[in-house]
Amino acid sequence: MARRLLLGCSAVGNTLVERTREARGELIAITDDTGWASTLRDRNVATVEADPTDPATYPESAAVVLVASDDPARNVAAAEAARRHYPDAMIVAHVGTNPTAAQQEALEAVADRVVDPVEAVVSRVCEATGVDADEEPVRLLRVLRSLTGPLLVVAHDNPDPDAIASALGLARIAESVGIPADACYGGEIAHQENRAMVNLLDLSLRTFDGIDLDDYGGVALVDHSRAGINDSLPEGHPVDIVVDHHPPRGPVAGEFVDIRPDVGATSTLIEEYLSRVGIEPDRDLATALLYGIRIDTKDFTRATSIPDFEAAASLSPHADESTLERVESPSVSPETLRVLARAIEGRDVRGSTVASCVGEIGDRDALSQAAERLLDLDGIAVTFVFGYMDGVIYGSARARGADLDVGELLRDALDPVGSAGGHATMAGAQVPLGILQEVSESESLEDVVEAFVAGRFFEALDDAPSPPTGPLPEFSRE
């Protein structure tokens, strides 16, 4: 008569006992967990209270071996011992709680079948709710669970609300499958509304200073798609996960890549993942994600898609509207008002386009606020405000009702000498000052910067690209 052997026990092991004890063949259990040993004996299962990884405790023969503790390392050891002791037996192994990729691979190498209850539940839920197993949320969970250590979620430098909320949301998803995660950013959170959001919601983010990349088993980028470009990672650093809504220039590498330029905010994608895998965001996360969507879509008046409205509707019942009101009404810094005044005073208007150099700045976020406000000028459809600080020229562009793509416009103008990009209606650029700083006594740095940047900007404007139409391009996921 065939002998069935249970090595280790857990809730999964207990279920296996329930399913197999009526089957033909004697069942013997070996576990050093006194509680489970007592439970098994109460069910009339012959139980030996001993180390399930020690072959000395095994019976002479076994046709089927069930490895079923909650400890992944012990399951690996028990499965390997069982394979050596019973080379012809069928071995079914439970992965345990939060196994590493190496532990899963070790089990798959010796067991005939590996049981992953979490993956099975996800698959059943997806089947019941009509979610395709190849859809983004499901693929994301698979990639997260394959990581060998904690996840570092990197927002772009000087993050905006969308980047901040997206980083925290992705970290929450990682933690839901047992992967510790840190959300981090480089630069500073300078915009008064962004600081208000972080402070009022008590959001936990790390600065990139002090981060040791060797401490992490994976890296994710949110709200941007290239390591070392507008973030504090080394350029070209390996990336596992990319979630973004900005159109990249060329292929993007990663085990999981979800880039959708047709949606208005990365927070929209994060909300979709949370909803599809059944994670209810807490008040602070829901509020941050909703604010991220509202800011990037300018309260649903710019580059807004149906998924943005759906995500906002899903988040609203969980968000704190009173906190949102406080975030949206912070005091305006004197630097922001100074930059706006300089932008208005020094504006160069050509048709429906205005460009303005504001000279040296102390807060680069003031540029985007000035670019937004200049759109309120009569007859203006495109704005570009730029200034410099710490050896770098920064620029911010906005468009409303214009027949051009300002993201591509800035790329054409300034990517060859720095980095630039964005959407059809919102974009940014940064260019190292370099040799421009070596000005003669007869000229000022501000004049040199204005002539250089504005010259390239208006030259590119003469051949400005239109917003993309038709189907969106496919981006590499490898």
Report residue 241's pLDDT band, with 50, 70 and 90 as the boundaries. Answer: very high
Q: Choose between 401 and 336: higher pLDDT.
A: 336
Per-residue pLDDT, averaged over 216-241, amounts to 91
DSSP assignment string, 93-151: EE--SS--HHHHHHHHHH-SEEE-HHHHHHHHHHHHHT--TTSHHHHHHHHHHT-SSPE
Q: Residue 471 above 50 pLDDT?
A: no
Average pLDDT score, the chain: 85
The SS3 assignment for 31 reads strand
Side chain identity at 447, as an amino acid letter? D
Q: Which secondary structure element, helix H or strand E, spans residue 287, and what is its range? A: helix 283-296
How confident is the model over 345-390, as pLDDT tens digits? 999 999 999 999 999 998 888 898 899 889 889 899 999 999 999 9
pLDDT higher than threshold 90 for residue 139: no
Average pLDDT over residues 265-277: 93
pLDDT at 286 over 90: yes
- Going from the N-terminus, what domains does the chain have, and what CATH number goes with each? 3-115 (3.40.50.720), 136-327 (3.90.1640.10), 334-461 (3.10.310.30)
Give the three-state DSSP class for 82: helix
- Global pTM value: 0.56
DSSP of 363-432: -THHHHHHHHHHTTSTT--EEEEEEEETTEEEEEEEESS-SS-HHHHHHHHHGGGSEEEE-SSEEEEEEE
pLDDT tens digit string along 46-101?
Answer: 899 999 999 999 998 888 898 989 899 999 999 999 999 998 888 988 888 888 88
**Structure confidence by residue, pLDDT tens digits, 426-459:** 888 999 998 787 766 667 899 999 999 999 999 9
Kindly indicate the confidence band of residue 118, based on its pLDDT and cuts at 50, 70 and 90. Answer: low
Summarised one tens digit per residue, pLDDT across range 172-195 is 999 988 899 999 998 888 677 787
